[in-house]
Amino acid sequence: MSTLTSREWRLKLRPIGMPSHDSFELATAEIAAPGDGEVQVRNHWLSVDPYMRGRMMDRESYVPPFQIGAALEGGAVGEVIASNDPGFAPGDMVNSMAGWREAYVAKPADVMMQKLPAAGLPPQAFLGVAGMPGLTAYGGLLRIGQPKEGETVFVSGAAGAVGSIVCQIAKIKGCTVIGSAGGADKCAWLESIGVDKTIDYKAVGGGQALTDALKAAAPKGIDVYFDNVGGDHLVAALDAARVGARFPICGMISGYNATTPEPGPWNIISVIPKRIRIEGFIVTDMADMMPDFIRDMASWIGAGQLKYEETVNEGVETTLDAFLGLFKGGNTGKMLVKLV
Ligand code: NDP
């Protein structure tokens, strides 16, 4: 068993506003051969996700903040190189939270290491459609959104990892789906995977123009709003909601780099006459849905009912730009970094 050399991204400073390269460094670390109970892994794929922005701040949340000077963390898929844990053998493909780096050595429980299930999908699918973003879409839409056949579902961030899966599950459930995304290409792609109507929010503009575009797309109103974006999209959804609408609140990426407090939706009062149910959630709340999720995803993908797209960056040195790209709309489907 031998050591490995690994490049890893570390947090240098806590960014304020949109992060820049100044807050991070790409360092080199020697990865020792595994000690007792440890496993040595070479990562093949890294995930970058919007929630990581929150972990760069020093505040209490559902996951602890990243530490200054330490390697960043995140979803990763890799191959076991050497193992002193009887549950893992060289050649096993594993999922872990030891991302933002090329290789690592760790006790499996410390990095949430799990063998990839044999579901007939490529390994990186377990960072996207068959992983955390997929379960977020599945659980948030089905458990909180409760879409019924014939209803209208509005999805913001619709061309992203979570949004594009939400749109397609809503179609499978017999709904009319309206997706909002930035740019004509993303809207055309959404229509190619079955989304009924799209809103290019960058072309339309914010404020009342976005509300008008949504009302034009959904003249009878919306029954479900799956929120990935917050801000003007939430305002528009409140205005267009029908009585009894459900709003799974998944993310509010439009505010993640804000430097001053974001105003709340001015029309929030409409939840009262419209009896709107607004419910935030974290993907881990949906852990009990995992068996159903894997079963349904494998079946829908296998039957060609659900498609997934990936935006692939190559090399660990591209990881930070891939992450920053999430805030500029640089991805269609899941944003990934390929290492091997
Ligand atoms: P995406 O793949 O959707 O990537 C982010 C996308 O957000 C970009 O591609 C961009 O698309 C859009 N975006 C960025 N800035 C803005 C803006 N200012 N206004 C509108 N859209 C913007 O990421 P994910 O699918 O991984 O995550 C989607 C959302 O779900 C995020 O808010 C994330 O935090 C949340 N999330 C929540 C989880 C939970 O447990 N609650 C778990 C996983 C994700 P465009 O080109 O269309 O602007």
The CA 222 to ligand 1 mean position distance, Å, reads 21
DSSP 242-269: EEEEEEEE---GGGTT-SSPPPPPTTGG
Rounded distance between C-alpha atoms, residue 248 and residue 266, angstroms:
19
The CA 161 to ligand 1 mean position distance, Å, reads 8
246-295: pLDDT as tens digits: 999 999 999 999 999 988 999 999 999 999 999 999 999 999 999 999 99
The answer for residues whose C-beta is within 8 angstroms of residue 65's C-beta and 6 or more apart is 55, 56, 57, 58, 59
The CA 2 to ligand 1 mean position distance, Å, reads 40
User: Quick one: pLDDT at residue 290?
Assistant: 94
Q: Is 325 in the pocket of ligand 1 (CB under 6 A)?
A: no
The CA 221 to ligand 1 mean position distance, Å, reads 24
For residues 83-96, average pLDDT: 98
**Amino acid letter, 52:** M
Q: How many CA atoms lie within 13 A of 289 on its CB side?
A: 22
Q: Is 163 in the pocket of ligand 1 (CB under 6 A)?
A: yes
The CA 38 to ligand 1 mean position distance, Å, reads 35
Tell me the percentage of the chain whose pLDDT exceeds 90. 96
Contact present, 74 and 100 (Cβ < 8 Å):
yes
Centre a 10 Å sphere on the Cβ of residue 209 and count the other Cβ atoms it contains.
14
DSSP letter at 3 equals: -
145-158: pLDDT as tens digits: 999 999 999 999 99
What global pTM score does this model have? 0.98
Is it the case that residue 1 has pLDDT exceeding 70?
A: no
Q: Is 306 in the pocket of ligand 1 (CB under 6 A)?
A: no
31-85: pLDDT as tens digits: 999 999 999 999 999 999 999 999 999 998 888 999 999 999 999 999 999 999 9
5-23: pLDDT as tens digits: 999 999 999 999 999 999 9
* Backbone phi, psi, residue 124, to 5°: -70, -15
Q: Two tokens at 339?
A: 């290492």
301-332: pLDDT as tens digits: 999 999 999 999 999 999 999 999 999 999 99
98-126: pLDDT as tens digits: 999 999 999 999 999 999 988 789 999 99
Contact present, 23 and 11 (Cβ < 8 Å):
yes
Q: Is 280 in the pocket of ligand 1 (CB under 6 A)?
A: no
User: Quick one: pLDDT at residue 5?
Assistant: 97
Rounded distance between C-alpha atoms, residue 328 and residue 44, angstroms:
25
Residue 98, beta-bridge partner list: 74
What dihedral angle (degrees, nearest 10) is formed by the CA atoms of 29, 33, 38, 39?
80
Contact present, 43 and 101 (Cβ < 8 Å):
yes
User: Quick one: pLDDT at residue 226?
Assistant: 99
Q: Is 161 in the pocket of ligand 1 (CB under 6 A)?
A: yes
Is it the case that residue 196 has pLDDT exceeding 90?
A: yes
Mutation probe of ligand 1 site: the residue of 253, 321, 336 with most atoms within 8 A of C-beta: 253
